[in-house]
Amino acid sequence: MAIPVIVFWAIGVALIVVQTTLLEHLPVWLARPDLLYVLVAFLAYRFAWIPGIAVVFSLTWMVDVVAGIYMGLYPLACLLAFTALKTMSTKSLLKESTYQIPLVGLSFFLTQIFLYFVSSLLLPDILPEWSWPGSMQRTILVVLSAIPLFVLFNRLNEYLLKRRLRGKAPRRRPPRPL
């Protein structure tokens, strides 16, 4: 499990860097998809609890450090989302991949509401007005970007798991001489 964790952690770091550098140049009207959230959702579907929480927390912590205003809020929201999605996936409610992507959108939308609600309590002065079209737009962007990213992440995860299994394949003992 160590190699997939490291690989996806590295991908998460790369996504944070891309999100905070390259995607900043996208036009404002287009908004910027939260690519890291897509990774959080993927980790919830595919990773076990312990590595999942470790990776999600460390990555969202980075986002918080790089872009957060109120420290700890974004990691908390993402961990809650991770827990919710993980719980649903382990309870076999959403094993079907058909529901996974729409659920990413739904959870992201709810996370936005949560973040806004908590921010309105903690930072009421600097909070901009809630915008339904803006939230919807961001959610749609996350859903749209989740489709190719999930395909990529799945392929990479499968490849890493197969490599690990090949490495663990038991060696055949030579036949005992009669």
Between 8 and 150, name the residue whose CB sits nearer to another protein: 8
In whole angstroms, the minimum distance from the beta carbon of 76 to another protein comes to 6
Between 22 and 127, name the residue whose CB sits nearer to another protein: 22
d(CA 33, CA 138): 6
Between 54 and 140, name the residue whose CB sits nearer to another protein: 54
In whole angstroms, the minimum distance from the beta carbon of 127 to another protein comes to 16
CB atoms within 10 A of CB 165: 9
In whole angstroms, the minimum distance from the beta carbon of 113 to another protein comes to 19
In whole angstroms, the minimum distance from the beta carbon of 140 to another protein comes to 25
Name the residues that contact another protein, by CB under 8 A. 13, 16-18, 20-22, 25, 49-50, 53-54, 57, 61-62, 64-66, 70-73, 75-76, 79
CA torsion, ordered 138, 109, 60, 35, to nearest 10 deg: -40
d(CA 156, CA 150): 10
Show the tokens assigned to 45.
């579907």
Between 34 and 64, name the residue whose CB sits nearer to another protein: 64
Show the tokens assigned to 121.
């309590």
Dihedral sign, CA of 41, 78, 67, 157? negative
